[in-house]
Structure 1
């Protein structure tokens, strides 16, 4: 199993679009891995994780074959994770050669409803359903596993904006397991209860590290909170010495650039994501 991080920032990007803070200025000057687009990832070039406004540019930068992606998992409906109007570009007349190859969008009710609204919007432009068999919304619920393209996928409750019904995803295939934990603060107890009662050895954990070196564990996390999660995963026997931990989803409000956070993350034993990074497990 392989994960590619297409984008690794929070909503505003790094540097933030309209910001002149010191972190953004240092990031602009340093360039390279210090530049982050909004968070999105893909598993095995097959499962797309979130659909934000940077999806198109990600496909160009990293050679992602978007017409051939048929499964997208939405963590929650905040705009940096779901830009539903992008789906209008999959409608008849805009996208050719994809008949009979729909894109299924999986999400909890708030995300599901936005995708349904986008489909209705596209259909409203014509006298027939130009979105038919182009986009298929699928509603998911926390703790109810489903199968897609040979993967077993389990949405787990996240600790984030409750209005979004946010989830993180446990993804399993061929004896490998990955936990994609964005956006979330410290895991809700019901998520721990599920993980403990349905034990699986995690090969990779992708942490919400929005605040990096800052102390925060509500809605998002920093490295210290990530370490708390890691330690409990160890205690519960859900990880081992070979598990890979990736810190991901950063904001300039964390106070450091990629270069500056790297030595801090290394002390925790975390890899620091950057746009385009691939990790194979």
Structure 2
């Protein structure tokens, strides 16, 4: 299994579009791994994680064949994770050669409803359903596993904006397991109860590190909270010394660039994500 980080920032990006803070100015000047687009990832060139406004740019940067992607998992409906109007570009007359090859969008009800609204918006321009067999929304619920393209996928409750029914995803295939945990604070006990009741050996854990070197435990996390998650995963027998931990999803408000946060993360034993990073496990 492998994961490719297409984007690794929080909603503003780094540098943020309209910001002149020290981190943004340093990042603009330094370039390279200090530049972050909005968070999105791809598993095994098959499962797309989130669909934000940078999706098209990611497809250009990394040669992502979007017409060949048929499964997208949405963590929650905040705009930096779901830009539903992008789906209008899959309708008849906009996208050719994809008839009968729908993109299945999996998400909890708020995300599902936004995708349905986008389909209705596209269809409203025509006298027939121009989105038929092109976009297929699927509503998911926390702790109810489903199968997609040979993967067993389990949405788990996240600790984030409750209005959007946020989830993190446990993804399993061929004896490998990935936990993709963004946007969330310290996991709710309901998620721990599920994980311990359905034991799995995690090979890679991707953890929200929005606040990086600063302590934060609610809604988002930083390295200290990530370490708490790691320690409990090990304690519960869900991870071991071979498990890979990736800190991901950063804001300029953390006050540090990639170059500055890297040595701190290394002390915790975390990899620090950057746009374009790929990890096989």
Fold-level similarity (TM above 0.5)? yes
Whole-angstrom distance in 1 between the partners of 2:118 and 2:202: 35
- CA deviation profile, 1:125-150 (whole Å, cap 9, x unmatched): 11111000000000000000000000
Distance 1:58 1:11 in 2: 15
Deviations 1:10-55 (A, max 9, x none): 0000000100000100000100000000000000010000000000
Write the distance in 2 (CA, Å) between the matches of 1:4 and 1:74: 16
Number of matched pairs: 281
Task: Determine if the alignment matches structure 1 residue 133 to structure 2 residue 133.
Answer: yes
Q: TM-score, normalised by structure 2?
A: 1.00
Structure 2: distance between partners of 1:174 and 1:98: 29
Structure 1 stretches lacking a partner, 5+ long: none
Q: Give the match's secondary structure for 2:20.
A: coil
Deviation digits for residues 97-133 of structure 1 (CA, Å, limit 9, x no counterpart): 0001000000000000000000000000111110000
Following superposition, the deviation at residue 83 of structure 1 comes to 0.0
CA RMSD of aligned residues (A): 0.3
> How far 1:242 moved relative to its partner?
0.6
Structure 1 position 73, deviation (Å): 0.1
- Give secondary structure in 2 for the equivalent of 1:260: helix
Task: State the alpha-carbon separation in 1 of the partners of residues 66 and 74 from structure 2.
Answer: 16
Give the superposition deviation at 1:262: 0.2
Report the Cα offset of residue 161 of structure 1. 0.0
How far apart are residue 187 of structure 1 and its match? 0.1
Q: Distance in 2 between matches of 1:217 and 1:62?
A: 33
The 5 A counterparts of 1:203-242 are: 203-242=203-242
Look up the SS of the partner of 1:169 in the other structure: strand
Instruction: Tell me the residue number matched to 1:159.
Output: 159
Q: TM-score by structure 1 length?
A: 1.00
Report the Cα distance in structure 1 between the residues aligned to 2:253 and 2:194, rounded to whole angstroms: 32
Compute the displacement of 1:79 (Å). 0.0
- State the alpha-carbon separation in 2 of the partners of residues 133 and 6 from structure 1: 27
The structural deviation recorded for 1:255 is 0.7
Q: Deviation of residue 5 (structure 1)?
A: 0.1
What is the CA–CA distance in structure 2 between the aligned matches of 1:122 and 1:104, rounded to whole Å? Answer: 17
Give the 3-state SS of the residue equivalent to 1:187 in structure 2.
coil
Deviation at 1:198, TM superposition (A): 0.2
Per-residue deviation, residues 189-247 of structure 1 (Å, max 9, x unmatched): 00000000000000000000000001101000000000000000010000011100000
SS in 2 for 1:153: strand
Per-residue CA deviations over 1:51-108 (Å, capped at 9, x if unaligned) read 0000000000001100000000000000000000000000010000000100000000
> 5+ unaligned residues in a row in structure 2: which ranges?
none
Cα distance in 1 for partners of 2:262, 2:158 equals: 26
Moved over 6 A (4+): none
Quote the Cα distance in structure 1 between the aligned partners of 2:250 and 2:119: 31
CA distance in 2, matches of 1:65, 1:173: 22
Whole-angstrom distance in 1 between the partners of 2:229 and 2:129: 46
Q: Distance in 1 between matches of 2:217 and 2:29?
A: 30
User: Match for residue 252 of structure 2?
Assistant: 252
